[in-house]
Amino acid sequence: MRGIAGNSAMNGPGNDIIDDLKTVLEFYQALGVEGIPLHLTSAGRIDQGNGDKERLLSELRNEIGDCVRCKLSKNRNSIVFGEGKPGAKIMFIGEGPGREEDMQGRPFVGEAGMLLTKLIEKMSVGGVGLKRDDVYIANIVKCRPPMNRDPEEDEVTKCRGFIERQIEIIHPEVIITLGRIALQTLLKRPDLKITAVRGNFFDYNGIPVMPTFHPAYLLRNPKDKWLTWSDAQKVMERLAGRD
């Protein structure tokens, strides 16, 4: 047996946490659970593993089902849930699917999507170049508004809970909003104008949010592409500061 002095020297706050974790694991083992898909982040908190995030995203998609919660369901071909890496550091959020997205059931696959993919492939994190599969891409509403009009308030209200839960599951290190509606909806700030606030970080539940132009806008105004690249560089700098 160790003496009292030896126990006192070993029992710091870190060991208390380890002892608590051992107790929890022993409890679950007694119930027949062989493993828990958790890992400790660099900050020391318990976080979900990527496999668990993938499962939670799948469960959320199943919950959405063949959605008829708003009138957008009447004319859609596909529900465009979102796609990408469940543990992505960067999450891109647009306003809603377009014609190509509605046909394919995937976000940002039309001409604007190709421009977004080019932007992603110019970015890097920790000196490693990104691919589209390294980020997560989703929209505020999951069904295409007719004629690509802006989503209406009742449609956003019915759908916004799903994007909020996607963010909660993925828990990216930075969110990039694409266009005015994504920014205003996420931050619940209808007063924000993208031309005035792009390039400046905002906060969503502790996650930095960088607003920038929607790729569809850049197709019409290619001279502003350098502004979006400037915004992307600020995101890379923020991520580099976290490594």
What are the pLDDT digits (tens) for 174-187?
999 999 999 999 99
* pLDDT tens for each residue of 134-186: 999 999 999 999 999 999 999 999 999 999 999 999 999 999 999 999 999 99
What confidence tens digit (pLDDT) does each residue in 106-118 have?
Answer: 999 999 999 999 9
Q: Is residue 44 part of a domain?
A: no
| Residue 99 sits in the same domain as residue 203 | yes
Strands 46-48 and 174-178, how do they pair?
unpaired
- The three-state secondary structure class of 207 is strand
Tell me whether residue 131 is in a domain.
yes
The answer to whether the beta carbons of residues 208 and 174 sit under 8 Å apart is yes
Query: What local confidence, expressed as pLDDT, does residue 201 receive?
Result: 98
39 pLDDT higher than 60? no
Question: What span, in angstroms and rounded, lies between the C-alpha atoms of 134 and 111?
Answer: 20
Which is higher by pLDDT, 54 or 3? 54
Residues 107 and 59 in one domain: yes
Q: How many domains is the chain partitioned into structurally?
A: 2
pLDDT at 6: 39
Section 221-232 average pLDDT: 98
Band (pLDDT 50/70/90 cuts) for residue 241 is confident
- pLDDT for the residue 51: 87
Residue 4 belongs to domain spanning: 1-36
pLDDT of residue 123: 98
Residue 173: CATH number of its domain: 3.40.470.10
- Decide if 197 contacts 162 (C-beta within 8 A): no
Asked if pLDDT for residue 80 goes beyond 50, the answer is: yes
Residue 91 dihedral angles phi and psi, to the nearest 5°: -120, 125
- In terms of C-beta density within 10 A (0-12 exposed, 13-18 middle, 19 or more buried), how is residue 105 classed? middle
Same domain, residue pair 134 and 20 = no
- Residue 45 maps to a domain: no
Say which residues have a Cβ less than 8 Å from residue 157's Cβ, sequence separation at least 6: none
Task: Please tell me the distance from the alpha carbon of residue 168 to that of residue 66, in angstroms, as a whole number.
Answer: 22
Name the percent of the chain lying above pLDDT 70.
80
pLDDT at res. 10: 38
Mean pLDDT of the chain: 87
* 62 and 133 co-located in one domain: yes
119 and 4 in a single domain? The answer is no
Could you tell me if 95 and 65 lie in one domain?
yes
Report d(CA 230, CA 94) in Å as an integer.
Answer: 19
Question: Are 32 and 54 contained in the same domain?
Answer: no
Do 57 and 155 reside in the same domain of the chain? yes
pLDDT at 237: 97
pLDDT at 41 over 60: no
Evaluate whether residue 205 is within a structural domain: yes
Mean pLDDT of 48-58: 90
Cα angle 175, 202, 166 (rounded to 5 degrees) comes to 35
HEC readout, 45-83: CEEECHHHHHHHHHHHHHHHCCCCCCHHHHCCCCCCCCE
Residue 49: pLDDT band (50, 70, 90) is confident
90 and 179 co-located in one domain: yes
Do both 76 and 190 map to the same domain? yes
Residues 6 and 87 in one domain: no
15 with 106, same domain: the answer is: no
Strands 46-48 and 128-129: unpaired
Domain for residue 154, yes or no?
Answer: yes
* pLDDT of 89 strictly over 80: yes
Considering the domain boundaries, does residue 233 fall inside one?
yes
